[in-house]
Every structure is written in structure tokens, then in C-alpha cells.
Homo-oligomer: A and B are copies of this chain.
């Protein structure tokens, strides 16, 4: 399949590599020419603009940072929409506002083009090992056309609903996951303030109803005080902006999501935005003069 790829960050680079390894004809366009040059001798074709990339691709996959980035790539000057031939598909794997995903789906549909929002969970390790969980919003027929491609990148693919529904699921995912990280941090802080061994508490909790992937992975980081970024906390801070913006638009109060957002705000204010979100433990310590 002729695939176009935009987004060569910590997630995008290994993901594009899986497509190349699987034998697809992969072309890239990068905002930063240095990144493009670096990748050229690895077997990627290079394009001069998103429009040119779209013109030579059956499917273009984007994984970038913000709603505005994706809109610009799709409908900006020399954007994908200018280049796509009939029946082409834009699969966006970024985490953006559900309302933006719905709107882009409608604008593409009005031109006879197809859209899939397919955000992922699983972080850098999931991208590297092709074990991502993919949450898709798309018309069923469209999703079927790109399903084999997406399953090269992840181990689960759930069709959540029409365009935008994948981003709603991703918003739910981020809400639940970062709230779990905050809850884990509060538990660890309570244990430390009580003079109890954190590793033993984590082990005890992993055996019962409170067990979770977050307790396993982030609890371990907190016990070892390893705050080097897996996924940078500033990205979760951004994601929570989307969750709360959506909640406000819907008149749907989300009390602990709002509180977690403020803890992420504190994390940013304390200068740990490029560290791991396990740093929510350090925010609680700063608030109570705990260690270090």
C-alpha cells in the first residue's frame, strides 16, 4: 500500500518504521527538513508538501501534537485535502479534540474523501513494540480498508463509533489513566507520611481490587523515584485541556478530572513538564514538605 506519514516524534518514528518493515511503500513529509534528510536513506520516499504526499498515497497517517496542527495539515495551504485523489483516507492518530475530529470528518466527507480518527494508548513502548491500543472513530466501510495497516501498529483496534468517537474514547482513556496516576501518587504519599514501606504497599495493592497497569508501571517508578519521561507530563497536561474543554461544552461536570488537571497545572508550574507524569508524587511532596 502507498502510505504517507507525517509525524516523526517519539511515537511516530517507530510506528512509521513498522510500516516500512512490513513492506509498504512509505513516503514522509516533515516540517523539519533535517528529520526528513535523516530518514531518507532508511528507505522512505520524501515529499515537498502535505499535498504532494497526499497525491502519491492511498492513505496518509498523521500523528502530531495539537488540534490546530492536524487542521493545518489537512486543510491549510498545500494541505492533504488539496492533493488527495478520490477515495483517499486520512487516518489521524494524534490526540485532538473530539469536536475537531468530527468537524474534519465532515469536511472531508463533503469532498468525497474519508477520515479516521485513530488515537492510541500504550506510549513509547507500545509504539516501539507495535502493542498500541487503537481507538477508532470512522464509518465502518472506511475502517475496514485501513484495518490491516493499523494492526501493523497495534495489538488491539476497537471501532468505537463514527468520526470523533475514537477521540472521545481517547479522552476517556486519558481521564482514567492520569486520574489513576494521581491516585497512585496520593496513596504513595500517604504511605510515606505514615512511615510505611512504599514497595510493600504497591505489592499489597497489586494483589487486590485496586490493581491496575498504572499501579504496576507508575507505582514502580514512584517507588524507585525514577522521574525520567516515558511520555512527558506536558502532553498529559495538554490532553486534560481537551477533556475539560469537552466537558464544559457538554455541561458535563467531571469533578476529579478537574482536580487532576489542577495537579498537572501545579506540576507544570514546578517545572517538571518534560519529566514523567509520575512527578505528580513530587507535586504532593511540594505541597506538604515531604521528601526529598
Contacts and interface: CB of A to CB of B under 8 A. Distances in A.
A80 interface: no
Interface string A254-292: 111101101100000000000000000000100110100
A39 interface: no
A152 to B, nearest CB: 16
B190 A171 contact: yes
Interface string A186-227: 111111011011001101110111111111010000000000
A26 interface: no
Interface residues of A, number: 75
Given A121-B209, A133-B207, A207-B121, A190 B161 contact: no
Contact of A182 (B186, B191, B210, B256): B256
A174 B191 CA distance: 13
Interface of A: 98, 120-123, 126, 132-133, 135, 155-156, 158-161, 164-165, 168-169, 171-177, 179-180, 182-184, 186-191, 193-194, 196-197, 200-201, 203-205, 207-215, 217, 243, 246-247, 250-257, 259-260, 262-263, 284, 287-288, 290
Given A120-B208, A186-B255, A259-B259, 8 more contacts: A133-B208, A161-B197, A176-B180, A176-B212, A179-B183, A186-B254, A252-B284, A253-B287
Q: Which 6 A-B pairs have the closest CB atoms?
A: A121-B208, A133-B208, A212-B212, A133-B207, A156-B207, A172-B187
